[in-house]
Amino acid sequence: MVSIYIFETYLALRQYKNLKITNLPNQLNEFIEKDKFIKSQAYGRANQQLGLVTSTFDLLHTIFVLRWGLMPLLWEKSGQWLDQANMDSNDDILRAVVFTVAGTLYNFFLHLPFTLYDTFVLEEQFGFNKQTLQLWFSDQLKSFGLFIVIGLPLLAGILKVVEWGGVNFWFYLWIFTIAVSLFLLTIYPTLIAPLFNKFTELEEGEVKTAIYELAKKNEFPLTKLYVVDGSARSAHSNAYFYGFFKNKRIVIYDTLLKQVTKEELVSILGHELGHWKMRHTVVNMFIAFGYYLMFFYIFGKTLNTPDMYTSFGFDKQSAFIGLVLFSYIYSPVEHTFGFIMNLISRHFEFQADAFAVAQGYAMQLKDALIKISQENLSNLIVDPLYSSYHHSHPSLLERIKGIEAGVRRAR
């Protein structure tokens, strides 16, 4: 854990050197406004500084939790609270629910100063935050409500599968996780996302017509086209599609509509259709499912290892505690997998850009990426090692070079 912290801090310091550059590099001079560059550098430095503080705090806090046995203490307290409520403290699932709720509330209040600073100081300072404290608080209550309504039953389901599955529980847990993932992917856009944002169908006009023509040209089964009120919370912009089989829907942030022209917006959606055409989402899903299988298999071989429990101060074995402890032990693999997924994602981004270029949107996509990068104050000078470890998307300069190379190949 300490080694990961040292490595990530080393990467952050490498990137911080780039963020201190005040002169606009020649390769960006023709694309980026000088004042936007200076502001993006300041925004990047502010985020890095906050990130360094929070990561250091998290490391010290985690060491404190592990070294002084706060988890065994909370597990013991969870049993005592159940006894006081005249409930069965020997029921591991019930005890795990109490432990999880208490731990979630503890972590929420522990990180509350950092969260508030990030939203209402840092993001406010650079003109991104658009939400009021009341709206933020409302979002937190909704999130906690979803955690109670969806998260806790899923936790109980996971522990029930472990209890029921016997020695091969890891396989059944994998199947259960796949089913839950597909279920959540289905209900999130239509039931969960609307709790936080307002989705309205894009009004009739040239933009809607152009998008439907693009979808028809590529045989993309577009059934609905929505605009989401992202500006109610942030000035950042985005666009995405969702849906299974012949029921695809596209969602565009209202902030994006204000930042780009009709042609540029179509080029961005051409990029998104490239992801669909080359089945990037499906590939990512299968990779994730394969990763889950590896995780659960190793967890299955580790669950009944007594030393894992006694080393962390627990005197009895529990499937829930085993999962929590195994997640700590497994973190180096988790970080390695994240790095690999970023490499794959970056490759997919270049492929999606190439698809949009082949559709005839090279210059429009290039202009759109420049505008979005400037408006979102994206990092413009990126350390290669830092970027490959942290970023799922290539830098602006890398994407521009890729687009220009695609144009040259097409000639």
- DSSP line for 291-351: HHHHHHHHHHHHTT-HHHHHTTT-SS--HHHHHHHHHHHTHHHHHHHHHHHHHHHHHHHHH
| Per-residue pLDDT, 24 | 82
| Beta strands 199-201 and 222-228, pairing class | antiparallel
| Per-residue pLDDT, 359 | 87
pLDDT lower than 70: segments of the chain: 245, 410-411
353, 375, 383, 398: which is the annotated catalytic residue? 353
| Per-residue pLDDT, 411 | 67
Dihedral in degrees, nearest 10, Cα atoms 33, 36, 42, 48: -100
Q: What is the pTM of this model?
A: 0.87
Q: Which residues of 298-317 are buried (b: 16+ CB within 10 A; e: fewer)?
A: ebbebbeeeebbeebebeee
Q: Is 353 a catalytic residue?
A: yes
Beta strands (DSSP E) in 24-106 are: none
| Per-residue pLDDT, 321 | 94
| Per-residue pLDDT, 143 | 93
Give CA–CA dist 138/118, Å, rounded. Answer: 17
92, 272, 383, 398: which is the annotated catalytic residue? 272
| Per-residue pLDDT, 145 | 94
Q: Is 201 a catalytic residue?
A: no
